[in-house]
A and B are shown apart, each in its own frame.
Chain A
């Protein structure tokens, strides 16, 4: 890839960006898979907060989008344990980052050079209002989410 005046420039896809975010947040883990589907097909599920998202995220029972404009989104989420969260963040094809006072949710997808789409997820229970995640069981939950996602195609 080349930028101005023909100088080569590096490309940082959304999965790489998610890894950077997770490395910067104490307690955060990343789970990744390569799915044999196009980015559009994968994101049609992952980025559909009110339907697809709630079906593969193990802890989400109900998500309602209150506002979505210019890539910013506000949503109300209810966990299967009944807890509610007001999530705010960014949603665009290949990238979703949401936070509430007690939750952080990160998802990314990018075309895999060998074919298919690499998906990555991070997040979990947030140390209230801080850029940190309670690490207990976070990796297991993320793996479970991606295992569910794989079965949805």
Chain B
């Protein structure tokens, strides 16, 4: 799935957002169906087991504050920012609830690539996972990622370096 358009006013999501804002609940459910896979893709690698909770809470935040979205053409960037924020929050909450699990990470020797990615992600903090998702999955540059996460570009760079180093070590082990 490629990142969704940021600016196209004829994009179906933008039209649905306009209709939803006008009170059409069928447009709301169509917009939900349209955004849910995108939000799930962003929340999954950051919140891991808390992904479904994070995706649900992110979409609640998106729909509750839809009225504050001045320009519906900015829908996807705005949704992405909310999804990352909620995923980091849920991941932090889960880490506090289960701190012992972080020390008990399985070795990344599973033959399945999917298991490897997940295992390496589990070794990173939610903030590092967020940087990795924005840069490597969403294709944002360092400045855009730093703006979205509200951290300096240098911090994005160092977190990304550490996250990629974790992947490199896992696959060369």
Contacts and interface: CB of A to CB of B under 8 A. Distances in A.
A136 interface: no
Contacts of B28: 21, 24-25, 131
Interface residues of B, number: 39
A8 B39 CA distance: 12
- Interface SS of A by simple majority: mixed
Nearest to A25: B25
B109 interface: no
Interface stretch (B49-57, B71-79, B95-103, B156-164): B49-57
B40 A20 contact: no
B119 to A, nearest CB: 10
A10 B46 CA distance: 10
A10 B60 CA distance: 15
Nearest to B43: A10
Interface in B94-151: 112-118, 121, 137
Given A7-B41, A10-B41, A20-B63, 18 more contacts: A1-B44, A5-B113, A10-B44, A10-B54, A16-B55, A20-B60, A23-B60, A23-B63, A24-B63, A25-B28, A88-B26, A89-B26, A90-B30, A129-B23, A130-B23, A131-B20, A131-B24, A131-B28
Interface of A: 1-13, 16-17, 19-21, 23-25, 88-90, 97, 99, 104, 126, 129-132
